[in-house]
Structure 1
Amino acid sequence: MHIAGFQKQSLIDYPGNISSVIFTQGCNFRCGYCHNPTLVLPEYFEANINPNEILTYIKKYQNLLNAVVITGGEPTIHRDLPEFITKLKELGLKVKLDTNGTHPHVLRKLIDAKLIDFVAMDIKHILSLKQYNKSVGNILTKEIFQKVIYSIAMIKQSGLEHEFRTTIVKGLHTIDEIRSLKLQFSPNYKIQNYKPGKTLNPQSLFASFPDEELKLMDQICSITY
């Protein structure tokens, strides 16, 4: 596991639980609005944290935790992810996984082995190859897109707690498209407004939705900030 960040305690990343948050390094998407370029672009990678150090900390303070959240980057690109999660489950902790859904075979393995308790999947755009590809840096193939579709169906049928979410970006998404996503993924769907700043593509023309449009969208679906 290539781990680039570790938050010892969080009250918000796994609803209803006190969790540690692990940030894996590396991602197979290139979303221009991504706010974690140091986890995505190799030229910005920082030194890794030894997974054993994290496990040692979690084991020492497991009485203060209910769960661990594994996010990224994209965690499912790491071959030893199931092995790492197994060690967490042996400590009696719940595990929440954040993913972009491009590795359904990994999801299937984790679900079948009962290694995860909650899945949060990023939905980049409406389920159109053209629109989705525009959102992820124009690196999407038909094969990968089908894997995303398959992961969505798998998560819905898994029986696990789950959430689908979209970072909404002015100039990339329309209100009608967000409404369409809400209808498709309700009741487990949330949106979060794009925040300008340190992003993968700081030269882009992306922008946040203004307050008046957010108020309209707040009538459509739950918004997280």
Structure 2
Amino acid sequence: MVCLAVSGRPVQKLTEGVASKPEAPGCFGAAKGAVPVRCHTFCHQGAARDVNPENAWRHLRGLTPLSLCDWPGRPCCVVFLGGCNLRCPTCHNASLAWDMESEPLLPQARLKAFLSSRARWLSGVTVTGGEPTAVPGIGMILHEIAASGLAIKVDTNAMLPDVVEALLAEGLAQQFSVDVKGPFDQYPSLTGGAVTEAGARRSLSRVFALAEARPEAFLFRTTLVPQLSETDMTTVRGMLPAGFTLATQDYKPPRRPHALADSEARRTAGNMV
């Protein structure tokens, strides 16, 4: 379930399972000081009581001022959000994904000041992680970034299709870069047991349907982790909707026990999770 809290009027039902009440318990609505009319706060089932501005912005953990490879064709900055719903054994940003408190907090004011001063030199913002769609309040964060006038790309593992659909419908992301881990039957091992084969098939099928309806808004890629064979890659290509190509990136084991979301760590391009 995903809900969009709206001040003073019912929520527009964007997808099956979206809340139809003005506020879920604990949602940060406009009446409590958020963005007027719509607060753009997304609440995951069971986490609604935790959604407030402080909790959302606590996930902001890193910023790369300029990247020429994270969004093909666009010079962009990269914003890192901590936390993830998977436990991939090959994760390149493990500390950011699983132990975000070990990474320095990036103050909201610093991000806002950066976007205000650099927006004219950029043509987009890539929001990565971790897993951005797993952040309660992700809509609030994207709304703040969108105020800069820059287009937004979200890197996602697509295991929370309700959130992907809602962000797309709300216009809070112009593109999604979907990390397809591998064939459906390998998701349990590729995600550290976090996703079943049936769960992967169900979630990705919904995102593939969104991509068929909005092909300009989706890219698909796979990291060539050691577990995947050429036969597996052929299978993955066959999973994609018609007309889409699969981008691949080499797997490079982290040089440190946990990769950091900063320029010092010489982060490999792309969301290696």
TM over 0.5: yes
User: Which residue number in structure 2 is paired with residue 139 of structure 1?
Assistant: 194
Partner of 1:160: helix, strand, or coil? helix
Does 2:220 correspond to 1:164? yes
Does 2:233 correspond to 1:178? yes
Q: Distance in 1 between matches of 2:132 and 2:100?
A: 19
CA deviation string 1:124-156 (max 9, x = no partner): 11122xx11110001224674322332232233
Runs of 5+ unmatched residues, structure 1: 202-225
User: Which residue number in structure 2 is paired with residue 152 of structure 1?
Assistant: 208
Does 2:83 correspond to 1:6? no
Q: Distance in 2 between matches of 1:200 and 1:190?
A: 27
TM-score scaled by structure 2?
0.67
TM-score scaled by structure 1?
0.80
User: Which residue number in structure 1 is paired with residue 244 of structure 2?
Assistant: 187
CA deviation string 1:64-92 (max 9, x = no partner): 11110000100011122112212222221
Q: Distance in 1 between matches of 2:172 and 2:211?
A: 14
Task: Specify the code of the residue in structure 2 equivalent to 1:125.
Answer: G
Residue pair 1:119, 1:162 contacting (<8 A) in 2 also: yes
Partner of 1:152: helix, strand, or coil? helix
CA deviation string 1:26-78 (max 9, x = no partner): 11111111111121222873121112310221112211111100001000111
Residue 160 of structure 1: how far off its partner (Å): 3.1
User: Which residue number in structure 1 is paired with residue 35 of structure 2?
Assistant: none
User: Which residue number in structure 1 is paired with residue 30 of structure 2?
Assistant: none
Q: Distance in 2 between matches of 1:108 and 1:137?
A: 25
Q: Distance in 1 between matches of 2:198 and 2:238?
A: 25
Does 2:117 correspond to 1:60? yes
Residue pair 1:3, 1:24 contacting (<8 A) in 2 also: yes
Partner of 1:165: helix, strand, or coil? strand
Task: Specify the code of the residue in structure 2 equivalent to 1:38.
Answer: S
Residue 25 of structure 1: how far off its partner (Å): 0.5
Task: Specify the code of the residue in structure 1 equivalent to 2:170.
Answer: A
Partner of 2:203: helix, strand, or coil? helix
Q: Name the stretch that deviates more: 185-194 or 25-34.
A: 185-194
Q: Distance in 1 between matches of 2:225 and 2:119?
A: 38
Q: CA separation of 1:35/1:61 partners in 2, compared to 1, >3 Å: closer, same or farther?
A: same
Q: Distance in 2 between matches of 1:141 and 1:127?
A: 8
% identical aligned pairs: 27
Q: CA separation of 1:198/1:37 partners in 2, compared to 1, >3 Å: closer, same or farther?
A: farther
Q: CA separation of 1:89/1:43 partners in 2, compared to 1, >3 Å: closer, same or farther?
A: closer
Q: Distance in 2 between matches of 1:155 and 1:198?
A: 35
Q: Distance in 2 between matches of 1:139 and 1:200?
A: 21
Residue 199 of structure 1: how far off its partner (Å): 7.4
- CA-atom RMSD, angstroms? 2.2
Does 2:81 correspond to 1:81? no
Residue 114 of structure 1: how far off its partner (Å): 1.4
Partner of 1:195: helix, strand, or coil? coil
Task: Specify the code of the residue in structure 2 equivalent to 1:169.
Answer: V
Q: Distance in 2 between matches of 1:140 and 1:133?
A: 5
Task: Specify the code of the residue in structure 2 equivalent to 1:29.
Answer: L
Residue 173 of structure 1: how far off its partner (Å): 1.2
